[in-house]
Amino acid sequence: MNNTSCPRVNLDFTGRFLPPVLILVFIVGLVANAWGLKSLRLNWKKLGSVNVFILNLGLADILYLLTLPFLVVYYFKGEEWIFGATFCKITRFCFNLNLYGSIGFLTCITVYRYLAIVHPMKVLGRITVTHSVNISVLVWLLVAAQSLPDVFYVKTSRNQPESCYETTHSASVEDYLNYSLGRTLTGFCIPLLITLGCYGHMIITLCSKNKSNKDLKQRSQRLMFILILLFSVCYSPYHLFKNLNLWSRVLSNYGNCHRWSNGVYIGHQISRGLVCLNSAINPLVLLNASKDSGSVLTSARRAIMRPFTTKVSQGVNEDQQLHHLELGRRRL
């Protein structure tokens, strides 16, 4: 359907849907992250170099959770932003830091587990806490550089009441769509492919080994399930519907309207609520890693070295038997 004037999109849905979701995420997220960080502190020495990524994952969640009360007030007041244009940009910037920082640190945890399970002898003693700190700093810098252009787009309206846009004003939406597509590729699609590749190879490696790897296999499958949950429920719908909604707005600016525009807008608002849940689900990664990350490298190394140690022990037994036979022969 193409018209010169587009039908009004149902904007009221956002004010009814998002505030309860944000309140729930704020409460559950703070409690879960506090619990996860406490578990991390108790297991700090046991976890090794991966604990740096887990700590940064928790910090990224807390950084975003602290902005949620302001957004709740904003939506309860009928999308009237009373905290100023600068703080609006800071709030949206913190959301991007949390989203793409979480994806980045989850990818780092995945790669570390992949190396520990698939190539344990190659990385043994070569990955240190210093390496993890340097990689974490690099992730923060890349995410900040990736999110910084978003700050220069218009985030507030000049009308009263003042709005705080998640993306930007309609006048800049076409340029913002190009920026959003690039960020989706680099900040979401590439990490997703790395994660899928690492866990696919890990599962194949573990399944090809003997039954003594059952516990390690279960722990890896559990973390893989959590990551699949995050990507399929939180991250994928958000990026899909956000870009579709931006595209719909671009078409609307040209008077090219479609009946699916309202459905895409509602889907985007639902995906915004789902992507917020990552701050409440991420602590599962903290707790799961705190429970077993310290033993992943040890378990994998033992599994790989078991055939060699078995041969060595068999060789020792044979030497002992020959020694006893030689003693017996001498006595005779």
pLDDT digits (tens, 9 = 90+) for 64-101: 999 999 999 999 988 899 999 999 999 999 999 999 99
* 79 φψ region: left (φ > 0), alpha (ψ -120 to 50), beta (else): left
Q: Which of 36, 14, 12, 106 is nearest to 288 (CA)?
A: 36
- Residue found by looking up tokens 């995945």 in the block: 110
pLDDT for the residue numbered 41: 80
3-state secondary structure labels for all residues of 67-97: CHHHHHHHHHCCCCCCCCHHHHHHHHHHHHH
For 137-190, write each residue's pLDDT tens digit. 999 999 999 999 999 999 998 776 789 999 999 889 999 999 999 999 999 999
* 3-class DSSP assignment, residue 218: helix
For 121-142, write each residue's pLDDT tens digit. 777 777 788 889 999 999 999 9
Other CB atoms closer than 10 Å to residue 296's CB: what's the count?
22
Whole-angstrom Cα distance, residue 220 to residue 271? 28
Give the DSSP per-residue string, 173-204.
HHHHHHHHHHHHIIIIIHHHHHHHHHHHHHHH
pTM for the full model? 0.84
Instruction: List the domains of the chain with CATH numbers.
Output: 12-331 (1.20.1070.10)
Mean per-residue pLDDT over the chain, rounded: 82
Determine the longest span between alpha carbons in the chain, in angstroms.
Answer: 111
Rank 38-47, 142-151, 212-221 by mean pLDDT and report only the highest.
142-151
* 3-class DSSP assignment, residue 128: coil
pLDDT for the residue numbered 69: 95
CB 101 within 8 A of CB 42: no
Q: Tell me which of 31-45, 107-121, 314-328 is least confident.
A: 314-328
Say what percent of the chain tops pLDDT 90. 47
251: which 2 tokens?
């078409």
